[in-house]
Amino acid sequence: MFKKIMLFCLIFMISFGSFSCILADDEIDSVEIKDIDKTIETATQASQMPQIDSTYALVLDRENKQILYGKNENKKTKMASTTKIMTSLIVIENTNLNNTVEVSKKAAGTGGSRLKISAGDKITVRDLLYGLMLCSGNDAAVALAEYVGGSVAEFANLMNEKAQELGLVNTHFETPHGLDSAEHYTTPYELAILADYALNNKVFANIVKTKTCNITINGNVRTISNTNELLGNLNGVYGVKTGFTNGAGRCLVTATKRGDIDVICVVLGANTKKIRTADSVKLIEYTFNNYEKINIDEKIKSEFNNWKNINENKITIEKGKQDKVKIKLEEYNLKNYIIEKNTQDKIAIQINANLNLIAPVEQGTSIGELTVFYNNHIILKKGILTDEKIEKKDIGTYILEILQNYGNYLEEVL
């Protein structure tokens, strides 16, 4: 009887181990690629906003940090291995990638997705980063955390300091790998902001766009592959990271660029890998099929200059040494804006200003506002400012005006 129980336990452990591997950030098989192709074909033909099954989702324009789609985008949730976006960023910014790391027993024993490194193994920081981001190695995450931070806890402090620096107020880290933890969370929006920031780092960007590469462990070469199922299979995808835990569900952060539109798509809390893939593809394809980028800066400047040409000379300055003042629009950094195709008529620019001023008037004084609306939502509001200082008349100025007026009167009489 005891032998039967032991045999059952052994079979269960083997089965559970295999099941866990499948549920980790596993590699892509040919069946999945066919599913992706079918999803892409269906999504490309869709003209309506897609139905998303994942609990959390977001599409963010990288240029303006403009949300193009959101579903629970500001709610806190677990993030699984998408955590490693921050892990790799901290490592890249704080150490020499050519340094060699000796893997600790603790790092080697970390469960979940693994690079499969052993205690005592010697590997460069750079190769550990590839193992972290391509294989989603939790063992690589701990090895890097210990090397850079001295311990997992100290490394988590570095992660949280960086989160604060980036203004991620609803994000908190406890581990470098993202295994479920009570105080380890983010939001889809803040995860997208983090990914956007990380992608500006050339080292990070080169790692996450890599499909396969060779790394060296103890002098032996090993080939590893990226777990991101959309990389190389969906037009324009150039990263970023997959993830899975029981608490977080299936997760995928994807960066995609086509033409002049560059977006980050975040899908968290999917029940299956097929759902996270389908949701990501549907959101990405819908975005590129139904949105366009326009140069809104030209429209704003044209509208303001037209208004200025008509109204600048109408401004009166009571008690001022000058009776006219030059004006300008407050500086802004909005050049392009993404809108639904063929909806430029939904852009409206409203200008309101006070044309009657009383001296003194300081340079940079706001006399009104220019407001830009898209689909009845405000996308920009900037002040209309005086471009010079107007001093108040003093007694000498009044006397001079009286004399000038009297002189003009005499010339007319004579």
Within-domain flag for 361: yes
CATH number of the domain within which 79 lies: 3.40.710.10
State the residue range of the domain holding 388: 315-395
Task: Answer yes or no: 30 catalytic.
Answer: no
CA distance 179 to 248: 9
Within-domain flag for 117: yes
Total domains, the chain: 2
Within-domain flag for 83: yes
pLDDT at 412: 67
CA angle 304, 262, 295 (to 5 degrees): 20
Alpha-carbon torsion (244, 56, 256, 50), positive or negative: positive
**Best CA proximity match to 56, nearest among 185, 178, 171, 188:** 188
Same-domain pairing of 165 and 210: yes
Within-domain flag for 178: yes
Same-domain pairing of 249 and 357: no
Which helix (H) or strand (E) is 219 found in, with range? Answer: none
Same-domain pairing of 194 and 335: no
If you search the block for the tokens 């430029």, which residue do you land on? 344
Choice among 54, 81, 113, 280 that is catalytic: 81
CB 249 within 8 A of CB 259: no
pLDDT at 115: 96
pLDDT at 134: 97
Q: Transcribe 262-329 into DSSP letters.
A: EEEEEEEEESSHHHHHHHHHHHHHHHHHHEEEEEHHHHHHHHHHHHHHHHGGG-EEETBSSS---EEE
CA distance 122 to 36: 37
The pair of three-digit structure tokens given for residue 36, joined into one six-digit string: 């992706």
CATH number of the domain within which 391 lies: 2.60.410.10
Task: Answer yes or no: 136 catalytic.
Answer: yes
Instruction: Show pLDDT as tens, one digit a residue, over the chain (414 residues).
Output: 444 444 444 434 433 333 333 345 555 555 566 777 777 777 766 667 889 999 999 999 999 999 999 999 999 999 999 999 999 999 999 999 999 999 999 999 999 989 999 999 999 999 999 999 999 999 999 999 999 999 999 999 999 999 999 999 999 999 999 999 999 999 999 999 999 999 999 999 999 999 999 999 999 999 999 999 999 999 999 999 999 999 999 999 999 999 999 999 999 999 999 999 999 999 999 999 999 999 999 999 999 999 999 999 999 999 888 888 999 999 999 999 999 999 999 999 999 999 999 999 999 999 999 999 999 999 999 999 999 999 887 665 656 656 666 566 556 666
Same-domain pairing of 332 and 250: no
Within-domain flag for 408: no
Within-domain flag for 38: yes
pLDDT at 21: 36
Choice among 71, 84, 162, 273 that is catalytic: 84
Q: Which of 291, 323, 355 is the last residue of a domain?
A: 291
CB 251 within 8 A of CB 94: no
Which helix (H) or strand (E) is 254 found in, with range? Answer: strand 249-258
Same-domain pairing of 69 and 146: yes
Same-domain pairing of 376 and 321: yes
Torsion of CA 207, 211, 215, 220, to 10 degrees: 180
The separation between CA 270 and the C-alpha centre of its own chain, rounded to angstroms, equals: 20
Same-domain pairing of 246 and 385: no
pLDDT at 322: 86
Q: Transcribe 340-357 into DSSP letters.
A: ETT-GGGEEEEEEE--EE
Choice among 54, 104, 113, 136 that is catalytic: 136
Task: Answer yes or no: 84 catalytic.
Answer: yes
pLDDT at 411: 63
